């Protein structure tokens, strides 16, 4: 699919003729959808070949493992693509409600209680979701995806104060490189973004990077569920009791009546890719429920692996100089530990923030767009980053500078996690914060804080 475009859409505010997005993964597709409202033509460049199948892509190695869209992220996506999740359900996506037995989550030595009200999450594979979103983007008349093209150089005005396009090379070497002019270029190419190097070439500072090394590995495969004795859950999660244990296991019911099973381990405790080792790793999880089911289920695929070294946050919001006509989004700003399912949802919230920013401006006025967008994006990243890295900092071996207050945060959150097994209000607040429906202050609210302490004291006395 070298080029594809689709059906009409109106634009109320026009900020320019051409916009380019680097990367056609979820962040790039969501940004492309937003820019289609404000630019006459949007071109999305993608290194990987794309077709109409829900295939795994080389550029998304984590796509073969369990994924979730947190509820806050799903709400943002739904605003960009109305009725998308209804269509996904019709095509096979599975809905799991945290207020029912749909979710079995064992964490910190306890099974979490159901939420006090419905909080629904959609379960599907990453390629399935990405394909449906891509179809919607391609239905826009002013969007084209050029697959098999690599952006390798930014173009600028003579004073190097504004980006004016980019140079792209085709994967097919029989074709020639081309220069594409644009009023706005957005780098959504992921963790491997070349934006810091490009900035240096134009005399700008690279962003500072904050890294938290967890060295987590994944092994996943699809199973056919057993024909008898179906479980009540639709999502099964066996998480660690940090710092004592390091291994996770997840089963998601996904499209085509399959189970997607992902095993993972922190701090280089990587799950093996052989049949016997995979099952033995599952047997050693903190709860037997996952092993009990997969030993009776029929494997459908080989075991695929992936390793992730560290959370990485490029602090673009701290820069005082930046070229006009250029932005960075998604994992190119912040790449999270995938076990917490934050990446796609943060990308969706960033796309929504970009939409809001462009909507507030007069036509053609994108001055200092980079400054306002990066500040807003940092605010979006901040809470998931604190939650994810905070959970990983429960391990003394986790690499990185621990923020002030980490010791207290670890002391409190470990007790809060355990209290989710005995107090439905605490469990509900945790689900809300985890799903980006509320900020972390909700789990530190005085009423919740006192309940956590009371539960912790009660557990200590009973022991």
Residue 216 has pLDDT above 80, yes or no: yes
The CATH number that domain 82-126+212-309 falls under is 3.30.9.100
Question: What are the backbone dihedrals phi and psi of residue 312, each rounded to the nearest 5 degrees, phi first?
Answer: -140, 120
Closest CA to 70 of 434, 426, 439: 434
Fold match, 16-60+129-210+311-388 / 82-126+212-309: no
CA dist 362 and 385 (Å) reads: 33
Are the C-beta atoms of 174 and 75 separated by less than 8 Å? Answer: no
Tokens describing residue 438: 């509320």
| pLDDT at residue 59, rounded to an integer | 53
Supply the CATH classification number for the domain 16-60+129-210+311-388: 3.50.50.60
So what's the pLDDT on residue 10? 46
Cα angle value 139/145/151 (rounded, 5°): 155
In whole angstroms, what is the distance from residue 200 CA to residue 103 CA?
A: 47
d(CA 145, CA 52): 13
Domain spans, the chain: 16-60+129-210+311-388, 82-126+212-309, 403-462
Confidence class of residue 54 from pLDDT cuts 50, 70 and 90? Answer: low
pTM, rounded to two decimals: 0.93
Reported as a single tens digit per residue, the pLDDT across 270-312 is 999 999 999 999 999 999 999 999 998 999 999 999 999 999 9
Q: Do strands 235-238 and 247-254 pair parallel, antiparallel, or not at all (unpaired)?
A: antiparallel
Least confident of 59-68, 420-429, 430-439: 59-68
pLDDT in tens, 217-257: 999 999 999 988 889 999 999 999 999 999 999 999 999 99
For the segment 61-72, what is each residue's pLDDT rounded down to a tens digit?
Answer: 566 788 889 999
């Amino acid at each position: 699919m070298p080029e594809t475009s689709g059906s009409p859409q109106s634009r109320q505010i026009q900020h320019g003729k051409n916009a380019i997005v680097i990367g056609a993964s979820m962040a790039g597709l969501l940004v492309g959808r937003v820019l289609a409202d404000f630019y006459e033509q949007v071109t999305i460049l993608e290194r990987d070949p794309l077709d109409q199948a829900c295939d795994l892509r080389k550029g998304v190695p984590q796509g073969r493992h369990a994924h979730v869209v947190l509820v806050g992220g799903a709400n943002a996506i739904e605003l960009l693509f109305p009725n998308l999740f209804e269509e996904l359900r019709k095509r096979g996506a599975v809905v799991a409600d945290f207020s029912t037995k749909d979710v079995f989550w064992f964490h910190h030595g306890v099974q979490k209680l159901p939420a006090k009200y419905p909080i629904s999450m959609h379960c599907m594979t990453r390629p399935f979701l990405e394909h449906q979103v891509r179809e919607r983007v391609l239905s826009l008349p002013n969007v084209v995806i050029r697959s098999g093209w690599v952006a390798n150089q930014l173009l600028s005005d003579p004073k190097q104060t504004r980006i004016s396009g980019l140079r792209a090379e085709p994967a097919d070497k029989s074709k020639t490189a081309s220069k594409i002019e644009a009023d706005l270029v957005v780098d959504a190419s992921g963790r491997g973004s070349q934006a810091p190097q490009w900035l240096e070439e134009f005399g700008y500072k690279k962003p500072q990077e904050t890294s938290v090394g967890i060295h987590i590995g994944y092994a996943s495969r699809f199973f056919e569920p057993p024909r008898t004795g179906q479980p009540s859950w639709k999502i099964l999660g066996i998480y660690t009791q940090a710092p004592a244990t390091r291994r996770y296991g997840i089963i998601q019911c996904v499209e085509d009546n399959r189970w997607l099973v992902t095993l993972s381990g922190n701090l280089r405790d990587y799950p093996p890719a052989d049949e016997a080792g995979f099952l033995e790793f599952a047997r050693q999880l903190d709860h037997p429920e996952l092993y009990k089911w997969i030993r009776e289920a029929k494997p459908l695929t080989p075991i695929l692996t992936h390793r992730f070294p560290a959370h990485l946050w490029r602090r673009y919001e701290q820069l005082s100089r930046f070229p006009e006509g250029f932005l960075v989004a998604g994992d190119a700003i912040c790449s999270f530990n995938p076990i917490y399912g934050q990446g796609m949802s943060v990308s969706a919230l960033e796309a929504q923030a970009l939409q809001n920013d462009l909507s507030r401006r007069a036509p053609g006025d994108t001055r200092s767009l980079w400054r306002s967008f990066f500040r807003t994006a940092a605010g979006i990243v901040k809470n998931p980053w604190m939650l994810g890295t905070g959970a990983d900092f429960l391990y003394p071996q986790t690499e990185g500078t621990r923020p002030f207050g980490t010791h207290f945060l670890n002391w409190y959150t470990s007790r809060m996690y355990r209290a989710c097994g005995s107090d439905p209000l605490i469990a509900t607040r945790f689900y809300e914060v985890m799903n980006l429906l509320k900020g972390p202050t909700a789990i530190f609210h005085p009423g919740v804080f006192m309940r956590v302490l009371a539960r912790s004291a009660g557990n200590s006395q009973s022991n």
